Amino acid sequence: MQSITEIKSLRSQIKAWRQQGQSIAFVPTMGNLHQGHFSLVEKAKTLADKVVVSIFVNPMQFGQNEDLDNYPRTLAQDKQGLAELETDIVFTPSVETIYPNGLDTQSFVDVPGVSEGYCGGSRAGHFRGVATVVTKLFNLVQPDFACFGEKDYQQLQVIKTMVHDLSMPIEIIGVPTQREVSGLAMSSRNGYLSEQEKDVAKVLYKVLSSAAGELKAGIREFDKIEQGAKSQLENAGLKTDYFSIAHRSTLKPATKEDDEFVILAAAFLGTVRLIDNIQVTQ
């Protein structure tokens, strides 16, 4: 596995692969890798000749009161895991490499519509930061495929929309959420939870599953399902950010005419913000 930090070296290797006719799959991450991330790499390996993984904690997608400085960084451990999976390149640029002129004068990418509401409503500027850094990384890696986890469902739809709108020749692959035995979606932020808190956190998936069951049964009283779910979360000790039933592709509020849904949820357990979702097809 090559470990690359500089753009020039990355581009040189990408060019050599292209000249050899090799296809490339890409997995962008912020590090602190767990099985959820590794499942993306495993999927990427089935899609292309070469796999590139980036590790970059992107300051542009963090708000003023968010945990950029405390975001867990486990680079040595991450590299070991990627090497065991026979990743071809791990790209670990510095902030100065990605944003040489700082954030204040950096050009940015906005994806209207699908980036609004839900996490976009709770975290102002978050998806602008995501879309901008992913665009930069796509320009550097020039992949044929890029893999993203379905746990961050709104992010996945933002990236799919951006790639379509900007005519990027990249196929975006959504990879199913990896879960703990309890059902809790794997996340780097789970490391902030105590064992007791993890026992509470698993309620989020249980409530999502219950709401999904109602939709599958043909119930279309969306407001009632949402309010009932929020009450269950609050009673369990979680503070609901949102719990919403939406159209699976547009993320607009669900209507009775829809037959493809996604139930999106975010809730706080102490200072830790948990997100999860379930897709439902009628």
Kindly state the helix (H) or strand (E) to which residue 282 belongs, with its residue range: none
b/e map of 113-129 (b: 16 or more CB within 10 Å)? ebbebbbbeebeebbbb
Stated length of the chain: 282
51 phi and psi angles, rounded to 5 deg: -125, 130
Q: How many CB atoms lie within 10 A of CB 72?
A: 13
238, 203 contact by CB (below 8 A): yes
Query: Does 37 qualify as catalytic in the annotation?
Result: yes
Distance CA 39, CA 41 (A): 5
3-state secondary structure of 84: helix
CB 229, CB 210: distance < 8 Å: yes
29 pairs with which residues across the strands?
55
Residue 282 and residue 260 in contact, taking contact as beta carbons nearer than 8 Å: yes
Q: Give the distance, in angstroms, between the CA of residue 265 and the centroid of all CA atoms in the same chain.
A: 14
Residue in 34, 37, 164, 247 annotated catalytic: 37
How far is Cα 266 from Cα 263, in angstroms, rounded to an integer? Answer: 10
Catalytic residues: 37
